[in-house]
């Protein structure tokens, strides 16, 4: 895999940034009493995804990137769960941008992890990506 110039060149990071925007737009309509509860949790989980992707991409080795991709997957799973709760409470529709983007980004990151893990199995994990 050719090394990106910066984390900004990583498609997953670009998609994660779009996800954060969708989350902020979609959660702006939550009830006022959710300001410091579910809305804050959803926003925090969404913010973690591009942040971890950026940190992993700048570490430089496949092994470190894989570790941060795993953390991003954890944040995406938490976000998906929180969005599901919001849907069950009637705060979000199943076709909301945040819901759709979370699912799509989850598949993208999982594919990237699988690809890099396959690539890493051929070296010691210290190779620069």
Which residue range is the domain that position 48 belongs to?
9-120
Domain CATH for 28: 1.20.1440.60
- The helix/strand/coil state of 3 is coil
The verdict on residue 45 lying in a domain is yes
For 15-43, the pLDDT digits (tens) are: 999 999 999 999 999 999 999 999 999 99
- The helix/strand/coil state of 87 is helix
Confidence of residue 59 (pLDDT cuts 50, 70, 90): confident
The verdict on residue 126 lying in a domain is no
For 96-124, the pLDDT digits (tens) are: 999 999 999 999 999 999 999 988 776 65
Q: Number of structural domains, the chain?
A: 1
The verdict on residue 2 lying in a domain is no
How high is the pLDDT of residue 100?
97
Q: With 70 as the cut, is the pLDDT of residue 129 above it?
A: no
How high is the pLDDT of residue 40?
97
- What's the CA angle centered on 78, arms 65 and 73, to 5 degrees? 20
């Amino acid at each position: 895999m050719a090394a990106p110039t910066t984390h900004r060149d990583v498609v997953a990071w670009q998609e994660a940034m779009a996800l954060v925007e969708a989350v902020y737009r979609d959660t702006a309509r939550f009830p006022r009493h959710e300001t410091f509860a579910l809305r804050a949790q959803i926003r925090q989980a969404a913010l973690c995804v591009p942040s971890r992707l950026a940190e992993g991409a700048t570490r430089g080795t496949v092994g470190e990137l894989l570790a941060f991709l795993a953390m991003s997957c954890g944040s995406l799973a938490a976000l998906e769960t929180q969005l599901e709760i919001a849907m069950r409470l009637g705060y979000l529709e199943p076709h909301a941008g945040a819901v759709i983007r979370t699912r799509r980004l989850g598949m993208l990151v999982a594919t990237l992890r699988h690809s890099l893990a396959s690539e890493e199995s051929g070296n010691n994990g210290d190779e620069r990506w």
